[in-house]
Chains A and B, each alone.
Chain A
């Protein structure tokens, strides 16, 4: 495509921002004895390099599972092993068994940050660039602006390059999956997505839309002919990729079970720490954890999650299209985030990725959502001393979106994809014309609340009796915003097909 040099500049700008953020502190820096996620990743390199595969997920004298035991699927372990080989080549002290616990140095930080950058560069960034180039019906300039905004999304940058994680690998693989499946390369797409799930089990949040979309495609092609063949091929791909990743753990039944127990810690409870989902917010008023017994909690959360995502997924299966697929990814992941079990605040990134994909279609609402998602992680970012990069990257993202998409001019009913919904409502309530204005007001209220809460959290000390006041406020406010978005995205999906046809007629 023309203007490749502008796209290069955009990618390099994204890399520059990422690297400057990585100069800041990381999770658990200088905080013995447990440190944080950074130490966890280093520890996994130590474990995978020094111990045989059979001992990776088991408790032993060499592998104390209480100290950052492996709790991601095997692909993470293989990735850590690869990094460990490089570390061994540069400085074996970094991964020496036992003696490297809590190792911190400038050189090591550089190495770890470099591993994140390389993984990002190889997996996530090409997927983003390809996605933007494949967007239809928009000019080249808008494609590049889209890439800029997605690459500047603060949440992913701050968590991967600040707090320290490898979300760009799993999100990048999932994105490749989305791209493959949308462009009718179903087998490659599902392979990529299986790899993503095998990297981080949270990617299962995206699995139902994938399943629904691919099943819908099979139905469309006819269950007796090509559809059935496709179904068998897809099933084969999934089984093959899982087998390949889990091969070393299939030797004994106990192995596979132990890995599953580590991946899905059902005894850990409904939620840990303050997270912007329903359970945490409701527990402010009603201590659910104490009222309901454990197994009831699991059942309730399972049912609620399923109920909230079922309509969209069913619709996707019946009427599969790439556009509906992307929106369903959003609503499904958001349902999981709000209602599921043991959700961490970083899981909002699983919702942010699909929202980035629909940035070009509903820029105003997407930008709003992405700002809230970054804000919802504020307590975590403050704990890691990342206030300055958070504020700066959020402002940069906002400016980039505002100038690229002129978001404040795109708040009419049609722009918000709410036309057919409003038309349906107007059949019963003729005066229902004020929806855009309500949404605009809500946006302003939301932004002001977020700014105020940020200022308060940074400058004031919480009262003695309520030491978690600000974290709770942040998570509750974010939860309210997310509920609103859940409703909004579901409305778009359910009232969608009429929209698409009308718009094509207008053009």
Chain B
């Protein structure tokens, strides 16, 4: 009894939160799952039954392997556990196979790999210090951060309903951020390099990492006013960083380089033929651009300024994934989106270089890179908003101003994930309830953090 009381004693709220959300994830097992479920089953089958040389060429199913090699190895490892659940799911030709055991295995694999995410949140909490000794548990920054991250509603619907493996990937990212906060730069860089080879979407935030490590790690000291001190440049550090990234990339892409398959791998990873917008329109700038184009074309047709025969048949709004042209406004190419993105991240990069503010500045730049890439990127998924929301949680427990922005970001971001659950009206109710839950939680925590920080001087 004494042991039990120690276990459930005061400091175990983190354990309670982690267990609680895990149990909620178990309850979400029978919910709707999207085609991503079949995607991952297919990848289990591909990596298990085919040799490496076939992995990026296999096209029996329409859901071809389009993540970097580390993720393929991850699926390979999972497939060895999968064979104890249901051998049939590992057959490449069993398209859309979803027996109850397959469902159980896949769902549990997501829940299980989220352990890395829980560990990363634990590490992040260490980086957030409570400046004031708060007696109220709900006002401690660590508690607020744990709730915001562990119970992040967007992650719950994307991972545990829609079905993906973002949990442990975000765990890697948060862990690398935590390591940078803890001044363990090499580990942070290593973790990020590994992360890039798991899912290349994290390239969105790579500039922030690159500039920060170059500026604040390779230059070991600053002048008193914060500007660069050129003579403190450390070649050793630069080379060790480069070596780390190089070794990780070699491990990942090496086998495919040896097989001369690199162009094929890259064409799978960066499918520019897929079109400017994803099927379900990420709410970014190009969505507005397309809408404007559509409106103008309708007006043009009404006012007889446009010739109906010259308008292409496929339109943006039909929700298909393909390449095509705009009717009124100039067409957008991948290069244009890249330039727009670069212009958008330039201010934050400049600040990171010229006025580094330590890990907090890096985090701010990272969020801005994620948001800019989301806004102007080519073929952006709406799930990418999570790349901005999760790191923003870290910032929001620091300052009241950040908390306000976070409230807006999280509410709209999670709302924009709504189309992911478009089938089965029953799930709509779940979404609405869950969304209200997360919004009220965020509001609650914002209120308490405002109370907490209204007493501290601004700009802290």
Contacts and interface: CB of A to CB of B under 8 A. Distances in A.
Nearest to A396: B23
Contacts of A16: 24, 430, 433-434, 437
B27 interface: yes
B8 A110 contact: no
B436 A12 contact: yes
A402 B1 CA distance: 12
Given A110-B426, A403-B8, A388 B1 contact: no
A5 B16 contact: no
Contacts of B137: 141
B123 to A, nearest CB: 22
A24 interface: yes
Interface in A1-55: 3, 5-6, 8-9, 12-13, 15-17, 19-21, 23-24
Contacts of B16: 399-400, 403
Interface of A: 3, 5-6, 8-9, 12-13, 15-17, 19-21, 23-24, 106, 109-110, 113-114, 117, 141, 388-389, 392-393, 395-396, 399-400, 402-403, 406-409, 411, 440, 444
Which size bracket describes the interface of B in this complex? 35 or more
A406 B5 contact: yes
B441 A9 contact: yes
Contact of B27 (A389, A399, A440): A389
Interface stretch (B28-36, B112-120, B394-402): B28-36
B126 to A, nearest CB: 21
Contacts of B326: none
List the 5 closest pairs (A to B, CB-CB), nearest first. A408-B5, A12-B437, A5-B444, A20-B27, A402-B8
Contacts of B138: 3, 6, 141
Interface of B: 1, 4-5, 8-9, 12-13, 16, 19-20, 23-24, 26-31, 136-138, 424-426, 429-430, 433-434, 436-437, 440-441, 443-444, 447
A16 B436 CA distance: 10
Chain B, interface SS category? helix
Contacts of A411: 1
Contacts of A20: 24, 27-28, 31, 430
Given A20-B24, A392-B26, 19 more contacts: A3-B444, A5-B440, A8-B444, A9-B441, A12-B436, A16-B24, A17-B27, A20-B31, A110-B425, A110-B426, A141-B136, A395-B19, A395-B23, A396-B23, A400-B16, A400-B20, A403-B13, A406-B9, A440-B1
A12 B151 CA distance: 13
Given A388-B29, A403-B8, A440-B1, A23 B434 contact: no
Given A16-B430, A113-B426, A6 B30 contact: no
Nearest to B447: A5
A23 B436 contact: no
A406 B447 CA distance: 27
Contacts of B12: 403
Contacts of A9: 437, 440-441, 444
Contacts of B426: 19, 23, 106, 109-110, 113
Contacts of B430: 16, 19-20, 23
Nearest to B26: A392
A110 to B, nearest CB: 5
Nearest to B30: A23
A56 B93 CA distance: 56
9 contacts: A3-B444, A5-B447, A8-B440, A16-B430, A20-B27, A106-B424, A393-B27, A399-B20, A406-B9
A19 to B, nearest CB: 5
A8 B445 CA distance: 13
Contacts of A106: 424, 426
Contact of A15 (B1, B28, B30, B433): B433
A409 B9 CA distance: 9
A12 B432 CA distance: 10
A179 B30 CA distance: 37
A13 B5 contact: no
A408 B23 contact: no
A8 B433 CA distance: 11
A396 B28 contact: no
Contacts of B4: 402, 408
A433 to B, nearest CB: 16
Contacts of B440: 5, 8-9, 12
Contacts of A3: 138, 444
Contacts of B1: 408, 411, 440, 444
Contacts of B8: 402-403, 406-408
Contacts of A114: 429
Q: Which among A9, A109, A392, A411 has the highest number of chain B CB atoms within 10 Å? A: A9
A141 B134 CA distance: 14
Contacts of B20: 396, 399-400
